[in-house]
Amino acid sequence: MVYRETSPKGIAGLLASKCVERYAVPSVVLVPSTIPGQVSGSGRSIPGIDLVETLRSLKELFLRFGGHAQAVGLTMAVDRIEEFRETFARSVEPMARVGSQRIHAEAELPLSSLGRHFFEQLLLLEPFGEGNRPPTFSIRMAEVLSVRNKWARIREGRSSVEVLCWDVPITEQMKGDFLVEFYGKTRILRAFHSSIRQDSRPPFDRVSYSWKTIPWCERRPQCRPQPQRSIK
């Protein structure tokens, strides 16, 4: 939960979405209301956690709230912010720990295949949201060429691509396998598995990693040929 005293109300939802994207936990952003003594806010959740039901158990803290499983809006008194911060964290922490245990690659992706046909297929999958997550691919035996301002360029063979690495610590010349989410034109690095392991500990603290590969279009109904219907 974040309280932004200087942010306008109109960007609370955007900020909450960015928090979810970066930290992979349910997030609520509060900003000052136009009514003195009150704050307004927006919340966004992660797959598997119903934010409305979670906040329903805390309804005595709000003047009003509503929304759906993945997005909520709320209004509360300023003097209840700290109480909400503590109780919200206690409510979502166990569920977030369970809900973000495993990330799967839908397919292995050679960077040489990134071209017009690939992005046309990707476009068929939109819009992304609850029940239709952006596809995630494994890029095997690649190398980090450069890292700058949370952007990293990784190379596999003669091809390379830039990825956004919010919370995956990588440095130049690291080699291994990368798990990358393709959200429209944005590529987000979700996990990294070094090809040089110095011990037997799991490679990630927050993510229990699995290289499960399945044909990525098979489970996406948008990519399946649609049956032809005859008109009588």
- Calpha distance 186→206 (Å, rounded): 22
Please tell me the predicted confidence (pLDDT) of residue 117. Answer: 86
- pLDDT above 90 for 103: no
- Look-up: residue for tokens 């929304």? 67
**Looking at the domain covering 103-223, what would its CATH class be?**
mainly beta
Please tell me the predicted confidence (pLDDT) of residue 230. Answer: 40
Please tell me the predicted confidence (pLDDT) of residue 20. Answer: 81
Helix, strand, coil distribution of the chain in percent, nearest 5: 25, 35, 40
- The predicted-structure confidence for 141-168, as pLDDT tens digits, reads as follows 999 999 988 899 999 999 999 998 877 8
Mean pLDDT of the chain: 79
| pLDDT confidence bin for 220, thresholds 50/70/90 | low
Please tell me the predicted confidence (pLDDT) of residue 193. Answer: 85
- The predicted-structure confidence for 55-100, as pLDDT tens digits, reads as follows 998 999 999 999 988 899 999 999 999 999 999 988 887 766 554 4
Label residue 225 exposed, middle or buried (CB < 10 Å: 0-12, 13-18, 19+). exposed
CA distances from 49 to 25, 27, 46, 98 (A): 9, 11, 6, 10
| Domain chopping of the chain, boundaries | 2-99, 103-223
- The predicted-structure confidence for 126-146, as pLDDT tens digits, reads as follows 877 666 778 889 999 999 999
- Calpha distance 51→38 (Å, rounded): 21
**Cis peptide bond prior to 127, omega within 30° of 0:** yes
* Half-sphere exposure for 76 (CA within 13 Å, toward CB): 25
- pLDDT above 60 for 47: yes
Please tell me the predicted confidence (pLDDT) of residue 122. Answer: 86
CATH architecture assigned to 2-99:
Roll (3.10)
- The predicted-structure confidence for 188-205, as pLDDT tens digits, reads as follows 888 888 875 444 333 433
